[in-house]
Amino acid sequence: MNSFGAVVPLLVVVGAALIVFLLEAFLKKENKNYLAYLSLLALIGCGILSANAWNGGLTYFDGMLRLDNAALFLTFLFLIAVAFVILIGMKYISLQDANHGEFYGLLLLALSGLMIMVSSTHFIVIFLGLEVLSVSSYSLAGLKRKDDKSSESAVKYFLMGSFASAFLVFGLAILFGTAQALDIPGLVDFFKAGPDNQVLGVVGLGLVLVGFAFKIAIVPFHMWAPDVYEGAPTPVTAFFSIGPKAAGFAVLIRLLAPYWNAGFRSGKLFGFLWALAALTMLAGNLIALRQNNIKRMFAYSSIAYAGYMLIAVLAGDGAGLLFFLTIYMFMSIGAFGSLIALSRKGREYNELGDFAGVGFKYPWIGAIFAVFLLSLAGFPPTAGFLAKFYVFVAAVNQGLTPLVLIAVLASLISVYYYLRIIVYMYMREPEREVSIEMENPALYLVLFLCLYGVLQLGLFPGNVLYLIKQAVAALL
């Protein structure tokens, strides 16, 4: 149904971002927290509007913007993630350096990019969304202007990110030249017809996939991720770990879903993706073993998680992928939030040694962090277990047993480094005096909500699975 309503949620977010930027220039320094409240208000408004569009199938701009249920579900996911990131960032941003109101504005712009990416089936619109996301991400990574690491991560993200975009654009050009179309249905028709230009088309598709593999940090296109994750401000890292990844996978399943029933598992592309998934899981987890900086360790863990998500794509399990992304959002933001709980004025505590004895000194934070770590490692009854379980079962049913064996092996490796943090927290004497800023209600609210999400989804995932079922119906 062609309706202007399809654009309104996006307009709310973009409008709020512009107002935040303008107010940022005019407001006094001590009033910058109002910008956070304004952004949260916009997120709630966008959420209500999107909820009204559920099952509506609204489209606009000649079908270029398509609010189907899959797009709406991911939009909800992003809204929650960005709301969490704003809440955990409020105190952090003012503690680390000057209170940058740009943090909220850029996050909203990045969110609008994510929303554009997931709610279109036309590659040019997807590319524009990706660029809106990327350009705001580059500046988000460098937000701590006085910090060397932060600037370095911004420049690395910028170079590798725009390098990847160039691949993507060139791939699109070749696809356009061979298939005469850039919308996903048109491309699918072209590849199913199998005409003479197939080779050039596959080259184009390969370049596009390389571009996306950079963005979702799949080995061997992951080299930017650890540095960027380590240097960026921690709330921004939490955003990077879920936002671009989820949007990239959304595009990937939109592109590959039409093939799931038609000889997908015998094609050449399948073998290529299979190898990437195996490599990503193994390399991510193995390199994470020897990290002493926890943010960097989480960066490698998030690379490994991209590998698990790729299994869901290979198994043709869209519902499993969305469920996995939902759970990963809660776990990842919870884990990074726990790291923020330990940061103090002008300084962060990210080294493994900083966590020695934290479990006794701050029992609540220690316990909550431990739950997130156990969930990331995949222990029942947390949601992390259920997420991997669903995906692995779906993969075994599709005859991907060797890949699942590799995945299980990789998860076993990962247990070691997640548990190492818990061991440090509970079984080591403190090396350094670490004090925690306790007056940060927004952060504790987020930690509590993430904990609730991880346990609720691990024990009673029924409601969310029902929504996901409706969302995936739009894809197939």
Partner 1 sequence: MELVFVFLIFGLLGVVLLSMNALLGPKKTNPDKEKPFECGSPYLQNEIKPFPIKFSLVAFVFLLFDIEVVFFFPWALIFKEMRGPALVIMLAYGAVLAAGFIYAWKKGAFEWD
Partner 2 sequence: MIPPGYFFILSVVLFVLGIIAFFFKRDLITQFMAIEIMLNAANLAFLALARSSNFVDAQVIVFFIITVAAAEAAIGLAIVLLIFRKKKTIKTETLNSMKG
DSSP secondary structure, 8-41, as one string = HHHHHHHHHHHHHHHHHHHS-GGGTHHHHHHHHH
Residues 6+ apart with CB under 8 A from 236: 85, 89, 103, 140, 141, 143
Q: Which does 409 bind (CB under 5 to 8 A by kind): partner 1, partner 2, none?
A: none
Contact with partner 1 (CB under 8 A): which of 1, 2, 22, 37?
22
The site partner of 173 among partner 2, partner 1, none (C-beta below 5 to 8 Å per kind) is: partner 2
**Which of 20/443 has CB closer to partner 1?**
20
Q: Are strands 65-67 and 58-60 parallel, antiparallel or unpaired?
A: antiparallel
Supply the DSSP symbol for 143: -
* Between 179 and 443, CB nearer to partner 2: 179
Of partner 2, partner 1, none, which one does residue 22 interact with (CB within 5 to 8 Å by kind)?
A: partner 1
Q: For residues 26 and 347, which CB has a smaller minimum distance to partner 1 in the complex? A: 26
Q: Which partner from the list partner 1, partner 2, none does 198 bind, CB cut-off 5 to 8 Å by kind?
A: none
* Nearest CA-CA partner of 322 in 380, 225, 375, 245: 245
Is 317 in a helix, a strand, or coil?
coil
199 counts as binding partner 1 under rule CB under 8 A = no
The window from 65-73, 108-116, 141-149, 416-424 that contacts partner 2 (CB under 8 A) reads 141-149
User: Given the rule CB under 8 A, which of 23-31, 41-49, 159-167, 210-218 is the region that contacts partner 1?
Assistant: 23-31
- Under the binding rule (CB under 8 A), the answer on residue 138 touching partner 2 is yes
Which of partner 1, partner 2, none is residue 432 near (CB under 5 to 8 Å by kind)?
Answer: none
DSSP string, 40-62: HHHHHHHHHHHHHTTTT-EEETT
Among 15, 95, 149, 430, binds partner 2 (CB under 8 A): 149
Q: Quick check: 115 binds partner 2 (CB under 8 A)? A: no
Of partner 1, partner 2, none, which one does residue 24 interact with (CB within 5 to 8 Å by kind)?
Answer: partner 1
Q: Hey, what are 385's tokens?
A: 């277990």
Q: Which of 219, 233, 210 is nearest to 287 (CA)?
A: 219
Phi, psi of 147 (to 5 degrees): -95, 130
Neighbours of 51 (CB within 10 A): 12
* SS3 label, residue 290: coil
Question: Does 109 interact with partner 2 (rule: CB under 8 A)?
Answer: no
**Per CB under 8 A, 97 contacts partner 1:** no
Query: Is 21 a residue that touches partner 1 (CB under 8 A)?
Result: yes
Instruction: Output the smallest distance, CB 466 to partner 1, in A.
Output: 38
- Judged by beta carbon, residue 10 or residue 87, the one nearer partner 2 is 10
The residue within the footprint of partner 1, chosen from 4, 25, 30, 429 (CB under 8 A), is: 25
Task: Using the Cα atoms of residue 143, residue 136, residue 58 and residue 319 in order, give the sign of their dihedral.
Answer: negative
Segment 13-42, which members bind partner 2 (CB under 8 A)? Answer: none
Residue 21 interacts with which of partner 1, partner 2, none, CB < 5 to 8 Å by class: partner 1
Q: Which of 343, 290, 153, 306 is nearest to 229 (CA)?
A: 153
The answer to whether the beta carbons of residues 151 and 232 sit under 8 Å apart is no
Q: How many other CB atoms are there within 10 angstroms of residue 389's CB atom?
A: 13
Query: Running DSSP on this structure, what letter comes out for residue 347?
Result: B
Contact 140, 106 (CB under 8 A): yes
Residue 170 as a binder of partner 2 (CB under 8 A): the answer is yes
Which residues fall within 8 angstroms of residue 279, CB to CB, at 6 or more apart? Answer: 219, 220, 307
Helices of type H across 290-317: 294-314
By CB under 8 A, residue 98 contacts partner 1: no
DSSP bridge pairs for 293: 351
Any contact of residue 148 with partner 2 (CB under 8 A)? yes
Please tell me whether residue 4 binds partner 1 under the rule CB under 8 A.
Answer: no
163 binds, among partner 1, partner 2, none (CB under 5 to 8 A by kind): partner 2
Please report whether residue 26 would count as binding partner 1 according to CB under 8 A: yes
24 part of the interface to partner 1, by CB under 8 A: yes
Comparing CB distances to partner 2, the nearer of 124 and 465 is: 124
Instruction: List residues binding partner 1 (CB under 8 A).
Output: 18, 21-22, 24-26
